[in-house]
Structure 1
Amino acid sequence: MKIAISTIGTRGDVQPYAILGKALAARGHDVTLSTARNFKALVESYGIDFHPINVDYEEILNSEEGKKILKANLFAIQRNLDKLIYPLIENSLNECYQLAQNSDLFIYRPKTLADVFTGQLNTKAVRVAVVPAMEETAAFLNPILSGFWLPGFMNRWSYKWVNLRYRVLRKPINHFCQQNGLQEHKPKIKYNIPSIYGISEHFLERPKDWSKAHQLTGFWFPEGGAVLPAEISEYLDAGEPPILITFGSMPLKREIAGMIMQTASEIKERFLIAACWSDWDVPHMEPSPNVKIISSVPFEALFPRVKAVVHHGGIGTTAECLKAGKPMFVCPVLYPVGDQYFWGDLAYKKGLGVKPVPVSRLTPNIFKEKISQLINNQGLKENCRVMAEKLASENGIENAVKLIEEGI
């Protein structure tokens, strides 16, 4: 079967789809993954074909305008609609649509906005995601709105919020539809598109009011075998397991990075900072012997060797914490809009981490207090150990491939 997969976003938005693509290719399918051009090497490392979208998300997120947009700055969003956002959306939709038409099965992430044309495809389509933000449920608030407090009776209503993006982006969407001879997209029309989520039911219970067309499969982890660089292994071997700090693909303000580094140097623990896409090069900051900064590193190899993890709350990083049995302190960068607080709060309620604090509200005293709770609460450690055992017994990617091949 010829399968096209489409996703956009940061590394955490791309890697799960590359893992899925590799598993499908191993079953004999012809798989092509379409995403931003800066992920070419990542996608091809999974042994599947790559179809580029002409955009570099790392470059956008690290630009001044990109950082403002990321913080849901309405003025920045409005200012960049015609210049940046509209062309990106239209280009992405065209690439997705052309790829989907030439495939037997089209797998897409909702963030691509491919919902605007999947109901008009002759090709079969499956919606695949790692954040349950599309299917209405009374079980929990839409994760994208997790930073807001709403009474429980409004949970189902909160899922209608996603339709606002179609109104904001009506111009490029309608232009795309006109170019390709498609009917104008109407969010109120619901097409029967099946959905699967790379999330474990051990962590998030599947809503009982979902239809059978919507399933949780378990997390999608990369295969083992990743090796840590010698320099990092030497640091890990030189003392007690460190506390890992990483904000993944999220840009971090330099003053916040400086505050974290300074505060960490005052705590009698070893720290390892995985910079990834963030800039931790803080001027005038004296290096501390108990704080080491590294660039990117395979999390699946690193997490089992650390004591605990401080991170932004992305579901990919959260899943790696759970798999490794490590307690977490989530500091959402995207807040109040975004799913990062949702996962951090869920981990806290399940006794797998301390209460999350948005990174914008982080202070030296709060950081020290949360680190103390993180390493001294024996209940957290035991709960994390039990969760790791449960996750070891499931194969999320195998379940996902089975559902896809069987037509959900």
Structure 2
Amino acid sequence: MKIAILTLGTRGDVQPYAVLGKSLKARGHEVVLATAKNFRSLILSYGLDFTPVEADFQALLDSEEGRKIRKNPFLARKHLKRFVYPMLRDSLVKFYGLAQQSDKVLFHVKTMADNFADQFPGKMIRADVVPASQPTAAFPNPVFSALPLAGFLNRFTYRLTDLGLKMWAKPVREFRQRAGLPERFSKPALPAIYGISEYLLKKPVDFPENNHFTGFWMDGPHSELSQELIDFISAGEPPLLVTFGSMPFDSRLDIVGLIKALHLRLRVRIVVVKGWGLSDVSALEGDPGIKVVDSAPYDKLFPLVKAVVHHGGIGTVAACLRAGKPFLTCPVLYPLGDQFFWGKIAYEKGIALYPLPLKKLSADKFIKSIEELVGNETLYTHAELFASQLSSEDGLTNAAEIIESDGRT
């Protein structure tokens, strides 16, 4: 089959789809992945055909307009018309063209590709790693899970997403006009696959039968650790790993100073993966107990560290679970965003501390939490047991078999 994979967002919204695409290609399918042009090198490194779109959301998030949106998402609309609307409209045009040429189309909900699914519903499959679009009574919409709402309102929280989608009505209308499609349409009930392990989160009983939790979309080692990093890790006790992901964020707290204080007060060695949020780490340079790297393959790095402090993205959570490492999530998106959701679930499973949002972080809270993280043996026992369960799961094969059977089990 000729399979098109459509996705948009930051690295956490792109890499799982590249992994899935690589697996599908290995099974003999012709795979093209379409996403923002800034991910060209990442997609090509997985051996996939690449179709770029003019939708660099990482650059937008790091711009002045992006900073305003991050500070108050509810005021985002006035910043959208000039920057986001044109990107979305043009992306939909390119996505639609690929869909027309393909036998099967897998799409991330952020691509808004369901706005042309009425043209060929038989080839479209929603593919997500966060269950934020299908209403359920089992849990709140992950994006709004940190809000203090009673459980009986779980289904209502998914309507909040629908309200947000109304902001995109204009570029969707403009796209359909440009593509020669009727303005009035209804979205079909499509099959869906989620790169989520049921060991972590059970598929709700009220989900449609053609919605599937396949297991995490993770492959084997994709690149190697630098020798310099290996030498640092090997020079003493396994270090603590600190990373806040690929999304830019704002913090009133001196994160770099906090990392340095953590090292000095607890006498733990630390590896810092910079990401986008820690742009200036010059204060950490030259300290023999702290190693800073721009990036590193998690599948190789995580098994070598003691524990992990991270932002709570599902990809990083999955990497911790697979490596059998306990963790603390410090969500950079709060109270909106799915990072708190995953951190809380991991806490309830006994493999992580309760999430500590970056906005609520203080030096004392952070250091006390890390002290518990590195000293609580129960967390390590539970994390290792969880990893052994995950080892029996093959999310990529499960996903591929569903795709090949037209979204059925």
TM-score (norm 2): 0.95
Q: Which residue of 2 aligns with 1:256?
A: 254
Write the deviation string for residues 218-243 of structure 1: whole angstroms up to 9, x where unpaired.
11112236321001001001111111
Give, as a single letter, the amino acid of the residue that structure 2 aligns with 1:233. Answer: I
Task: Give the Cα–Cα distance (whole angstroms) in 1 for the partners of residues 5 and 12 of structure 2.
Answer: 15
What residue number does 1:94 align with? Answer: 93
Amino acid at match of 1:128: A
Match of 2:204?
207
Partner of 1:162: 161
Deviates more, 1:105-114 or 1:154-163: 154-163
* Cα displacement string for residues 22-59 of structure 1 (whole angstroms, at most 9, x for unaligned residues): 11111111110000001111111111100001132332
SS class of match (1:310): strand
| Secondary structure, aligned partner of 1:3 | strand
User: What CA distance in whole angstroms lies between the structure 1 residues aligned with 2:110 and 2:17?
Assistant: 13
**Structure 1 counterpart SS, 2:288:** coil
Q: Deviations 1:242-266 (Å, cap 9, x if unpaired)?
A: 1100111022447432343232232
After TM superposition, the structure 1 = structure 2 runs for residues 51-200 of structure 1, keeping only pairs within 5 Å, are: 51-75=51-75, 77-121=76-120, 124-184=123-183, 189-200=186-197
d(CA) in 2 for partners of 1:100, 1:125: 8
Please name the residue that 2:4 is paired with: 4
Q: 1:49 to 1:109 in 2, by over 3 A?
A: same
Local SS of the residue matching 1:119: helix
Going from structure 1 to structure 2, the CA distance change for 1:135 and 1:284 (only over 3 Å counts) comes to closer
Which amino acid in the other structure matches residue 137 of structure 1? T
Cα distance change of structure 1 residues 363 and 259 upon mapping to structure 2, 3 Å threshold: farther
Q: Which moved more, 1:123-132 or 1:287-296?
A: 287-296
Say whether the 8 Å CA contact 1:312–1:332 is kept in structure 2.
yes
Q: Does 1:331 align with 2:341?
A: no
Correspondence 1:314 to 2:313: yes
Change (3 A) 1:378 1:283: closer
Change (3 A) 1:164 1:19: same
Q: Are the counterparts in 1 of residues 88 and 171 from structure 2 also a CA contact under 8 Å?
A: yes
Partner SS, residue 399 of structure 1: helix
- Whether 1:216 and 2:213 are equivalent positions in the alignment is yes
Match of 1:240 in 2: 237
CA-CA distance at 1:123 after TM superposition: 5.6
Look up the equivalent residue of 1:47 and give its one-letter code.
G
Q: What is the one-letter code of the residue matched to 1:43?
A: I
In the superposition, relative to structure 1, how do residues 183 and 406 fare at CA in structure 2: closer, same or farther (>3 Å)?
A: same
5 Å-filtered alignment, 1:19-30, equals 19-30=19-30
Distance 1:185 1:157 in 2: 26
Structure 1: gaps of 5 or more residues: none
| Letter of the 2:227 counterpart | A
Counterpart residue identity of residue 214, structure 2:
T
Aligned length: 405
Q: Which moved more, 1:142-151 or 1:259-268?
A: 259-268
Rounded Cα–Cα distance in structure 2 between residues aligned with 1:224 and 1:185? 47
Q: Residue in 1 aligned with 2:32?
A: 32
Aligned AA (1:119) = D
Aligned partners of 2:404 and 2:54: how far apart in 1? 31
Please tell me whether the aligned partners of residues 103 and 123 of structure 1 are also in contact (alpha carbons under 8 angstroms).
Answer: no
Cα separation, partners in 2 of 1:356 and 1:271, compared to 1, 3 Å: same
| Aligned residues of 1:198 and 1:219 also touching (Cα < 8 A) | yes
User: 1:180 offset after TM fit, Å?
Assistant: 1.5
What amino acid sits opposite 2:48 in the alignment?
Answer: I
**By how many angstroms is 1:290 displaced?**
2.1
Could you tell me whether the CA contact under 8 Å between 1:264 and 1:291 is conserved in 2? no
Contact 2:77 2:167 in 1 (8 A): no
Look up the match of 1:372.
371
The answer to whether the 8 A contact 2:317-2:342 is kept is yes
**Residue in 2 that maps onto 1:340:** 339
Q: Deviations over 1:85-113 (max 9, x none)?
A: 11111111111111111111111001111
The 1:284/1:21 distance shift into structure 2, 3 A limit, reads closer
User: Larger deviation: 381-390 or 89-98?
Assistant: 89-98
1:291 Cα deviation from its structure 2 partner: 2.0
- Alignment-mate amino acid for residue 398 of structure 2: N
Residues 242, 157 of structure 1: CA spacing in aligned structure 2 closer, same or farther, 3 A cutoff?
Answer: same
Shift of 1:330: 0.2
395-404 vs 120-129, which moves further? 120-129
| C-alpha distance in 2 between matches for 1:153 and 1:81 | 33
**Distance of 2:222 and 2:175 partners within structure 1:** 43
Matched, 1:293 2:292: yes
Q: RMSD of aligned C-alpha atoms?
A: 1.7
- The amino acid that maps onto 1:263 is A
Deviates more, 1:332-341 or 1:111-120: 111-120
Question: Residues 150-180 of structure 1, C-alpha deviation per residue, up to 9 Å, x if partnerless?
Answer: 1111111211222123211111111111111
Task: Provide closer, same or farther for how the CA distance between residues 381 and 285 of structure 1 changes in structure 2, counting only shifts above 3 A.
Answer: closer
Partner amino acid for 1:178?
Q
